[in-house]
């Protein structure tokens, strides 16, 4: 009875919040005019500067409770829809940042609202289990419907987590345990290992390391922070680990004009990777794994060629290191393939692939040999959230039904072409335009110019994100289409023309 009552209340609430309103049309150009009238808004609508008075008031309140200096503005998620984010002052903005690349199919998607309205799903959202010890009856089935239906090639095992940081942190642990088991062979764990690990000493705590790249970002927990090298503020005052850091290629653009130089740059970085593995081995510190992003995101949207990653995978295999691909930001379809590393054409799949953001849940896929050999070795209270797997299964259905991977390729081409045109017209403001799918970016002359452009764009009704020292990145949803790209390009063209 209580379940039925809760179900009716939830359905009523969701129906109220999912009212489909059609607002006045504001077309910027014919190319930008196409709209999804039953889901998306037709364009930005600005009432105040951003942050507006209500946002500033709320910032003051929140700052009295915690440091809220990172807050951009407060949002009205009930009114946000499709590609448009609405703030508490009533400003409606085309969101090309999508909650730091974590909204897969837009705000308030009808398919997800319908999912929440179904009474049989109510328990999944209300009763969050400790999945490691008390999973629901349908948990294995839900994993097959969601994560395992899009598992990267060669990876049959998956463990869910709550976020990207804990996904990478636990992936590191899986790699270290795998490596120690290789060394131990068929021998049993010794008494000395059991006792020494309790006081953080070898042999129980072996001196292993993960090799990472300068400019990479893999999270803010202690182990992840040792592999994160994007901004000093992330790492300042935090004790860290002596793990090797290799240079990541700094490619010159346009790529076709610098083929030889970029090949030499990638070869230099790969040589340094091998040198570091050998150097650390001589220091009695074993590089058990290599972690890399397909595109360094937080660090500045730094790309490398597919050949670079194939050769990096070969180096990992040659030296017996696990190869971990961090797809937290690149996974889920934004590059035109479900996993960005699919573009590489690896003969030997990655050993471990981490995910979060657009995947609704965190976690990692891995090969069979990386499976923990005992319970509680990879463990925490929740180990993810079944409701997120349920939502992901629906997201995957939408992606397939609406052909959103091809859409990302098509819309990304429209966006990238337009950015290249703006670069040609405003080379003093835009350089190094680059991208794969809708995962696009460009550089500005400096940090101050970048931040000013982002602020102006926001006040004109477009939400953008920064990354690296001076880059602007685009992280739209998978339902971002050609007409959204043209709408943005028209607005941004005017901004650049009037920029002072």
The set of catalytic residues is: 217, 326, 357, 381
Q: How far apart are CA 294 and CA 339, in angstroms?
A: 9
Q: How far apart are CA 203 and CA 199, in angstroms?
A: 11
Q: Under 8 Å CB-to-CB from 134, ≥6 apart: which residues?
A: none
Best CA proximity match to 231, nearest among 303, 296, 171? 296
Best CA proximity match to 79, nearest among 90, 71, 63, 68? 90
Q: How far apart are CA 205 and CA 339, in angstroms?
A: 33
Q: How far apart are CA 127 and CA 134, in angstroms?
A: 11
Give residue 363's region: left, alpha or beta (phi > 0; psi -120 to 50).
left
Compute how many other C-beta atoms are within 10 angstroms of the C-beta atom of residue 43: 22
Report the DSSP beta bridge partners of residue 466: 472
Longest Cα–Cα distance of the chain, Å, equals 74
Q: How far apart are CA 205 and CA 198, in angstroms?
A: 9
Best CA proximity match to 404, nearest among 171, 111, 177, 59? 111
Q: Under 8 Å CB-to-CB from 61, ≥6 apart: which residues?
A: none
> Strands, DSSP E only, in 455-500?
462-463, 465-467, 471-473
| CB-based contact 322:351 (threshold 8 Å) | yes
Q: How far apart are CA 378 and CA 131, in angstroms?
A: 12
Q: How far apart are CA 372 and CA 143, in angstroms?
A: 18
Q: Under 8 Å CB-to-CB from 482, ≥6 apart: which residues?
A: 31, 34, 410, 411, 414
Best CA proximity match to 396, nearest among 163, 115, 125? 115
Rounded alpha-carbon distances, angstroms, from residue 377 to 171, 177, 194, 288: 11, 9, 14, 18
Report the DSSP beta bridge partners of residue 364: 159, 354
DSSP symbol at 476: -
For 272, list phi and psi in degrees, rounded to 5: -65, -35
Structure tokens at 233: 């503020």
Q: How far apart are CA 97 and CA 102, in angstroms?
A: 9
């Amino acid at each position: 009875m209580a379940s039925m009552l809760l179900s009716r209340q939830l359905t009523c609430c969701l129906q109220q919040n999912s009212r489909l309103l059609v607002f006045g049309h504001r077309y910027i150009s014919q190319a930008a005019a196409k709209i999804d009238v039953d889901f998306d808004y037709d364009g930005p609508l600005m009432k105040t500067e951003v942050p507006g008075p209500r946002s500033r008031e709320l910032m003051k309140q929140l700052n009295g409770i915690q440091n809220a200096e990172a807050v951009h503005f407060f949002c009205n998620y009930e009114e946000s829809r499709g590609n448009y984010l609405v703030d508490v002052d009533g400003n409606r903005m085309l969101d090309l940042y999508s909650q730091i690349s974590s909204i897969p199919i837009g705000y308030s998607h009808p398919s997800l609202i319908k999912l929440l309205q179904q009474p049989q799903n109510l328990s999944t959202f209300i009763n969050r289990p400790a999945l490691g010890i008390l999973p629901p009856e349908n948990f294995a089935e839900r994993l097959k419907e969601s994560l395992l239906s899009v598992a990267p090639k060669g990876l049959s095992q998956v463990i869910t987590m709550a976020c990207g940081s804990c996904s990478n942190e636990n992936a590191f642990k899986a790699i270290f345990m795998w490596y120690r088991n290789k060394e131990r062979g068929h021998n049993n764990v010794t008494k000395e290992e059991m006792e020494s690990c309790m006081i953080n000493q070898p042999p129980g705590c072996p001196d292993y390391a993960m090799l990472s790249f300068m400019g990479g970002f893999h999270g803010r927990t202690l182990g992840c922070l040792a592999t994160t090298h994007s901004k000093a503020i992330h790492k300042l005052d935090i004790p860290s680990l002596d793990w090797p850091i290799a240079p990541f290629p700094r490619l010159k653009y346009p790529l076709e004009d610098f083929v030889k130089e970029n090949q030499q740059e990638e070869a230099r970085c790969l040589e340094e990777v091998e040198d570091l593995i050998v150097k650390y081995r001589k220091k009695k510190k074993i590089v058990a794994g290599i972690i890399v992003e397909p595109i360094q995101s937080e660090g500045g949207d730094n790309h490398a060629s597919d050949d670079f990653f194939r050769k990096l995978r070969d180096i990992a295999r040659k030296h017996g290191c696990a190869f971990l691909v961090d797809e937290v930001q690149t996974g889920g379809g934004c590059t035109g393939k479900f996993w960005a590393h699919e573009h590489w054409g690896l003969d030997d799949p990655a050993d471990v692939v981490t995910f979060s953001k657009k995947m609704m849940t965190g976690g990692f896929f891995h090969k069979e040999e990386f499976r923990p050999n005992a319970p509680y070795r990879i463990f925490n209270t929740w180990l993810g959230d079944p409701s997120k797997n349920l939502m992901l299964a629906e997201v995957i259905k939408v992606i397939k039904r609406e052909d959103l991977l091809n859409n990302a390729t098509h819309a990304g081409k429209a966006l990238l072409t337009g950015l290249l045109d703006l670069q040609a017209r405003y080379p003093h403001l835009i350089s190094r335009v680059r991208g794969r799918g809708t995962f696009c970016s460009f550089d500005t002359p400096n940090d101050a110019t970048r931040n000013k452009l982002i602020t102006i764009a926001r006040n004109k009704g477009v939400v953008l994100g920064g990354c690296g020292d001076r880059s602007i990145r685009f992280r739209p949803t998978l339902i971002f289409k050609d007409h959204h790209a043209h709408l943005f390009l028209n607005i941004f063209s005017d901004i650049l023309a009037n920029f002072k």
